[in-house]
Structure 1
Amino acid sequence: MELNEAPEIGPALQRERKQRRLTLDRLAALSGVSRSMLSQIERGEANPTFAVLWALTQALGIDFSQLIAGEIAGNGRTDAIDLVTVALTPEIRSPDGAWRLRILSSPALAGSIEWYETEIAPGCRLQSAPHAPRTVEHLTAWTDGLVVETEHGRQPLGKGETARYRADVAHGIANTGDEPARALMVVLYDQGREPALRG
């Protein structure tokens, strides 16, 4: 790339998004950047700020410096260990502080399989609308006090226990204890067959 030639960031971001089979809506949800802004950036109609670029590269799992240099992180070493520091681990928090999700899975797996460190405050609840058809969640309790509730039933969990349940219906996770409750949540999206919840 010539010194006075600006990198083509929009097409590079679009290429990385499509390689990961992410829709604009899904990348918007992962990055916190609006769908309309993403669309404008990909078409070269908007110049993203540093903060926007940082959010997008973190959501896509690509290196910021390589994007700016016109290179994408897939061209480097394949035997390197990819480390995501605590400071760079994305988080989703409820506005009222009732729950927090730390996104531990790779952005490349979004929409296929995702896993989260889940923390719910005492007496609070994480309520979710139905996901796509045939989505299943696995919740492994790291502490006591968690209860999974769906239209199909209610299941308390003890520390170390795992609940598997349909997530294509309204579902919630409540903390009935007096201390913050933590768990590992794994979300398996439609794999083209009915979910097997037993065995």
Structure 2
Amino acid sequence: MTEPETARLGARIRTYRNMRRMTVRGLAVEAKASPSFISQLERGRTSASIGMLRRIATALGLTVADLFSEEDEIGHRVVRRPSRPELRTAPGTRKYLISQRPLQNVEVYAGEFDPGASTGDEPYSHGESQEILLVLHGRITVWLGPSGSASPHVLGPGDSVEYRTSVPHRVANEGDQPAEVIWVISPPTPA
């Protein structure tokens, strides 16, 4: 890579890191690199192997191609329901990415829960972002807190709950009708 290309790559890495409110040290830990290396890379003073770029991209919730995208501003994007990328989830649930990659300032998912389905038996956490869950249809229960001491919140259509993604959480449809929800996360959490 030329010196200007290395500088642009470093600037994009720094921009995405800042969007996710990650520190240089936090990115270094996630990418299994030294903070000094990440700092030098962001300033365009060194280059990285493709393996390192993969680890950095993964830590930022991106692809390597996203790191090299020259588009400074993403234009309008329409996503038709049948074209939404589906994420693997627990049986009886479906989760679709609505915000398209590269994720910039916000991450949005649509979720569907069959009666009796949940995000899993145990609460999970991810990153250190703000998350809002909004119920569109049906009735769901959200547990917030570690397993065994989690507080249940029963939500119906139009109800929402807001929490940190670092708080263990679990979602279940304990009713006899399908449920549909939206998750909004800002800034996007690492993959």
Q: TM-score normalized by structure 2? A: 0.55
Cα shift at 1:43:
3.5
Cα shift at 1:83:
1.2
2:183 to 178, 182, 185: 185
Q: In structure 1, what is the equivalent of residue 144 of structure 2? A: 150
Task: Identify the structure with bigger relative contact order (alpha carbons < 8 Å, sequence gap 6+).
Answer: 2
Cα shift at 1:137:
2.6
Cα shift at 1:180:
3.7
Which SS does the other structure have where 1:16 is aligned?
A: helix
Q: Is the alpha carbon distance of 1:43 and 1:90 closer, same or farther for their aligned partners in structure 2, counting shifts above 3 Å?
A: farther
Report whether the alignment pairs 1:140 with 2:138: no
**CA deviation vs aligned residue, 1:158-183 (integer Å, no higher than 9, x gap):** 11222234543211111123444211
Partner amino acid for 1:187? I
| Aligned 8 A contact 2:138 2:178 in 1 | no
**CA deviation vs aligned residue, 1:85-107 (integer Å, no higher than 9, x gap):** 34775543226563414142761
Report whether the alignment pairs 1:92 with 2:92: no
Which structure 2 residues correspond to residues 1-199 of structure 1 after superposition, within 5 A?
12-20=8-16, 21=18, 43=47, 45-46=49-50, 55-57=63-65, 67=69, 72-74=70-72, 81-86=75-80, 89-94=84-89, 96=91, 98-104=93-99, 107-109=103-105, 113-126=106-119, 127-129=123-125, 131-132=127-128, 135-151=129-145, 153-188=151-186
| Aligned 8 A contact 1:91 1:103 in 2 | no
| Aligned 8 A contact 1:104 1:117 in 2 | no
Partner amino acid for 2:14? K
Aligned residues: 155
Q: In structure 1, what is the equivalent of residue 42 of structure 2? A: none
Partner amino acid for 1:125? S
Cα shift at 1:145:
2.3
Q: TM-score normalized by structure 1? A: 0.53
Q: In structure 2, what is the equivalent of residue 31 of structure 1? A: none
Which SS does the other structure have where 1:107 is aligned?
A: coil
Query: What is the aligned-residue identity percentage?
Result: 21
Distance in 1 between the 2:169 and 2:161 partners? 12
Distance in 2 between the 1:55 and 1:180 partners? 33
| Aligned 8 A contact 2:109 2:183 in 1 | yes
Partner amino acid for 1:16? R
| Aligned 8 A contact 1:89 1:104 in 2 | no
Partner amino acid for 1:176? E
Which consecutive residues of structure 2, in runs of 5 or more, have no partner in the other structure? 33-37, 39-45
Distance in 2 between the 1:95 and 1:163 partners? 21
Q: Is the alpha carbon distance of 1:102 and 1:121 closer, same or farther for their aligned partners in structure 2, counting shifts above 3 Å?
A: farther
CA RMSD of aligned residues (A): 4.5
